Structure 1
């Protein structure tokens, strides 16, 4: 018969599963792959920046590039902060 798992074992299992899923997400998503360092969900931020830029006029390529540049800048800033 299978014994019931202790709660801490269940927690460990859950954490492991989360880590695995996160790793898969990183592999699949190019934006996040480039920005693994940042713990936050970058995709959401990128959307937010894009929406902000869309209010202003300008061609679409420009808007997208500007949004991703801002993100990259944030990542660099965050990385610098971590090193200190």
Structure 2
């Protein structure tokens, strides 16, 4: 089964590039099947990792950035694929 972990944070105004660099520099204890990093307006950064694991597996996740870099706690969600149709 494939599971996707989503990590999303919002940087303090004007610090989006710093948050993006911070997120890209974070190593995970185990490498995922795939990892993608996105940015959006309002200094938001999104990281999605894909894993070959059960939905409830204990998987490594990106940590919380320094509180002075973000405006709120990181949002985290876990997703599983659904069949088309």
Higher helix share: 1
Higher strand share: 2
Greater relative contact order structure (CA < 8 Å, 6+ sep): 2
**TM-score of the superposition, structure 1-length normalised?**
0.28
**TM-score of the superposition, structure 2-length normalised?**
0.28
User: Which one has the largest radius of gyration?
Assistant: 1
